[in-house]
Amino acid sequence: MVPRIGRHTGDSGARLIDISPPISESTPVWPGDTAFTRAVTSDLGDSDAVTINRITTTPHIGAHADAPAHTRIGGAPIGSVPLEPYLGEALVVDMTGVDGAACIRPVEETVERLGGHLPQRLILRTYPKYPREWDNDFAGVSPELTHWFADRGGVLIGIDGASFDPMDSKTMDGHHAASDLGVAILEGLCLDEVDEGYYELIALPLKFLDLDASPVRAVLRTLPSSLSTPTHAGEESS
């Protein structure tokens, strides 16, 4: 019998939703940070054997993961953080109606409405439409929400805004709360095509040994109905 390539029965109906904004010279970055640029160092069009590009960029571009080293002397660089938080079941919560930083109440209300199951990963949508230009007024994540989530076994919070902390923050309380509690940070996610609900998150950072962050190619995979049914709070679906 000749083996045939096909879809595993457990993947039936699942689809990927790309939540990574495109990266190019027009991608906005934090004011004063290093914008994305590229140069062609070898070009098939010039009769070279291959095309090769050189890029210059901040690692905090597009969808990205912050490491503890971003805000803490002696904090772990992104190449040393555990990968488990960036892969697994996640709950997307709509916070577009919230003024200020993302907070606890909308998460509680969404969890109750969907049956009481709180996964270990939260993805917070604060924009009705992802901004294509720099936005000074992005919503951060309140330290109270991070503490509340970590107390219940949470390991990652992702947001569509540029940072966990407000633009004018000097103390970086949101980042420090996440570092203190071992909660991984994702920022800059594009959630325009995502409804509230349960998904599988896949957003692994690159293994930059000494950097304070890394871009990620973040996607959400829809869950089969048997897996999206709420289970006991704090447990992963299998």
Residue 93 within a domain: yes
For residue 43, the domain's CATH number is 3.50.30.50
The answer to whether the pTM exceeds 0.85 is: yes
| Cα–Cα distances in angstroms (integers) from residue 107 to residues 121, 193, 204, 223, in the given order | 12, 19, 24, 20
Is 147 a known active-site residue?
Answer: no
Q: What is the mean pLDDT of the chain?
A: 92
**Domains in the chain, number:** 1
Strand partners, 87: 202
pLDDT band at 224 (very low <50, low <70, confident <90, very high): confident
DSSP secondary structure letters along 209-228 = SS-SEEE---EEEEPPHHHH
Give me the pLDDT at residue 32, please: 97
The tokens for 62 are 């597009």
Span 168-212, pLDDT tens digits? 999 999 999 999 999 999 999 999 999 999 999 999 999 999 999
State the CB neighbour count (10 A cutoff) for residue 122. Answer: 27
Q: Which amino acid is at 96?
A: T
Give me the pLDDT at residue 9, please: 54
Q: State the helix-helix crossing angle for 104-113 and 143-151, rounded to 10 degrees.
A: 40
Query: Tokens 């349960």 correspond to what residue?
Result: 198
Residue 187's contacts (CB-CB under 8 Å, 6 or more residues apart) are 60, 63, 64, 65, 66, 158, 159, 161, 162, 163, 164
pLDDT band at 35 (very low <50, low <70, confident <90, very high): very high
Say which of 60, 70, 175, 176 is annotated catalytic.
70
Its domain, for residue 183, covers 15-228
What average pLDDT does this structure show over 100-122?
Answer: 96
Given a cut of 80, whether residue 227 has pLDDT beyond it is no
Among 10-24, 39-53, 179-193, the range scoring the smallest mean pLDDT is 10-24
Residue 34 within a domain: yes
Closest to 202 measured CA to CA, from 183, 223, 225, 181: 223
Span 121-146, pLDDT tens digits? 999 999 999 999 999 999 999 999 99
Residue 5 within a domain: no
Residue 237 within a domain: no
Residue 3 within a domain: no
